Amino acid sequence: MLDLSLAANIASDLLERTADTPRVLRAVQLSLAPAFLLVGIGSIMNVIMARVTWIAGRIERLCETSDDDHTSEQRRELDWLKRRRVLARSAIKFATAAAVVISIVIALLFVSAYIETRLGTIVAVLWVTTVVLLIIGLFSFLRETLMASEGPREQRWRKKKGEG
């Protein structure tokens, strides 16, 4: 019976804390900035995924012919596309990790309004972690877009001149 009494006390305490409208309002307000960041990360991921899809489609079209039928230019383009795909996938992985971490921040901020434990340091560390992951993902995406803007022919020219 002690367990039932303890559970009832915990439930009663939780209901009392969550019934406080200003406390709920504050929890929602604290969660807004990270929620907007999550939306932004999702938008970035959407753009990157569109590029990954295009790259994958182009690789499939180039691979439809047998390896013997590929010209040296097609092989160079295939290698170029594969390098771009690696960078785009890396960007997606880091952006996804940032989205997961910021989701944890949102949950912690909401929960922190109802518990006595101070979570400020944890939230700050997770926020910085999110930003670092996002920066790494965006850097990978930048490298992929720069590679795309140069094209496979431009990279071949740079290698011949000794620049790349």
pLDDT tens digits, 4-58:
777 777 767 766 666 666 767 777 777 788 999 999 999 999 999 999 999 999 9
> Which domain range does residue 114 map to?
21-161
The residue type at 26: R
Tell me: the pLDDT tens digits for 117-153? 888 899 999 999 999 999 999 999 999 999 999 888 7
Does 60 reside within a domain? yes
Does 5 reside within a domain? no
Does 139 reside within a domain? yes
Number of domains within the chain:
1
Does 154 reside within a domain? yes
Does 62 reside within a domain? yes
Q: Taking 60 as the threshold, does the pLDDT of residue 158 lie above it?
A: no
Region class of 151: left (phi > 0), else alpha (psi between -120 and 50), else beta: left
